[in-house]
């Protein structure tokens, strides 16, 4: 009889509920490659998936080509401002993943159309309300952004570590015309208020800059670095996996900051030189000091990261 190894000093991981035979998940707001990746991971985990149509034909072809999609993936068109159509869409689902219009720049770009703020807030509220009206829906996972956490100058002045307890200052975002950050913050706050009122189990992912096979943004965006001092990234594979993990872990609750690595000044300069060897390094890249950000809460669910920023485009 062999001896069982004891796992000393390492806390037990939370219990994770795997997909049952006919579990149906709905993925809405599938306008970005993140939505496509979440659908892919759900199918690979054994779920049946009902998805809104991807924005691009390439993503649609990708999903249809997956071996797991045969008989387990269906597409639907829905208006996020039509509560009735959402309620119909969620019938029979055990969970919903909502991926709103992406905000890849975690610092809240000024070119975000201000008129879209109310539309995004209304769409998120309709999602929460519709989920709460369907008895089979046990959890809603909403994708927000780090921009709903970063924008309060007192954090930087205090030198505190930023975590899920922090919120962006709405008035500061308005004054600086950071409409994307304002939209994400207002939408998330509204979702939490309504979810608590309706007794809906809500999980929110707050990802950093997302990188992937077809997407790499912000690597040498010095304006981004000047404004927040934050340069963190997460690969889309890891971010999609984190969404599904948060859905499956029974103890998951609240918000989760999702990033693989918070880059140091040396990391950023090295990455910039490797990716752009023929371009001079912006002097502002050499002068910023990054802030401190924590992803310990997500790691506590059992999340581990695997993709590197320099391999993302390989």
Q: How many alpha carbons fall within 13 Å on the CB side of residue 188?
A: 29
User: Taking the model in full, what pTM does it have?
Assistant: 0.84
Which runs of consecutive H residues, i.e. helices, occur in the chain?
Answer: 33-44, 57-65, 83-90, 116-133, 147-150, 153-158, 170-175, 179-198, 222-228, 236-248, 265-275, 296-299
Percent of the chain surpassing pLDDT 90: 51
CA atoms lying within 13 Å on the CB side of residue 242: 32
The answer to whether residue 283 is catalytic is no
Question: Rounded to whole angstroms, what are the CA distances from 208 to 17, 68, 104, 211?
Answer: 26, 29, 8, 9
Q: Please tell me which residue in 5, 184, 261, 265 is annotated as part of the active site.
A: 184
Give the pLDDT confidence of 236-247 residue by residue, as tens digits.
999 999 999 999
- How far apart CA 149 and CA 164 sit, in angstroms, is 7
pLDDT confidence bin for 305, thresholds 50/70/90: very high
Identify the pLDDT of residue 232: 83
Q: What is the CATH number of domain 24-311?
A: 3.40.50.720
Phi, psi of 9 (to 5 degrees): 80, 0
Domain boundaries, given as residue ranges, for the chain: 24-311
Compute the distance between CA of residue 22 and CA of residue 199 in angstroms, rounded to an integer: 25
């Amino acid at each position: 009889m062999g001896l069982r190894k004891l796992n000393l000093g390492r806390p037990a991981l939370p219990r994770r509920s795997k997909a049952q035979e006919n579990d149906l998940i709905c993925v809405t707001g599938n306008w970005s490659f993140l939505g496509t990746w979440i659908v892919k991971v759900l199918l690979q985990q054994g779920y049946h998936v009902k998805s809104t149509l991807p924005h691009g034909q390439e993503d649609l072809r990708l999903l249809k080509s997956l071996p797991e999609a045969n008989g387990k993936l269906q597409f639907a068109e829905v208006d996020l401002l039509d509560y009735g159509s959402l309620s119909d869409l969620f019938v029979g689902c055990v969970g919903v993943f909502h991926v709103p219009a992406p905000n890849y720049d975690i610092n809240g770009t000024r070119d975000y159309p201000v008129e879209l703020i109310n539309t995004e807030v209304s769409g998120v509220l309709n999602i929460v309300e519709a989920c709460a009206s369907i008895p089979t829906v046990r959890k809603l996972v909403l994708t927000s952004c780090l921009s709903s956490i970063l924008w309060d100058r007192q954090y930087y002045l205090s030198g505190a570590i930023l975590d899920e307890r922090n919120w962006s200052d709405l008035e500061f975002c308005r004054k600086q015309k950071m409409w994307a950050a304002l939209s994400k913050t207002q939408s998330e706050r509204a979702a939490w208020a309504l979810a608590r009122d309706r007794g809906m189990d809500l999980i929110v992912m707050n990802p950093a800059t997302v990188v992937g096979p077809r997407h790499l943004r912000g690597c040498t965006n010095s304006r981004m670095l000047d404004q927040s001092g934050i340069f963190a990234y997460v690969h889309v594979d890891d971010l999609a996996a984190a969404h599904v993990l948060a859905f499956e872990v029974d103890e998951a609750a609240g918000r989760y900051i999702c990033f693989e690595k918070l880059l140091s000044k040396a990391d950023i300069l090295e990455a910039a030189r490797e990716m752009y060897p023929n371009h001079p390094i912006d002097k502002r890249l050499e002068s910023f000091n990054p802030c401190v950000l924590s992803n310990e809460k997500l790691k506590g669910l059992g999340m581990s990261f695997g993709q590197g920023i320099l391999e993302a485009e390989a």
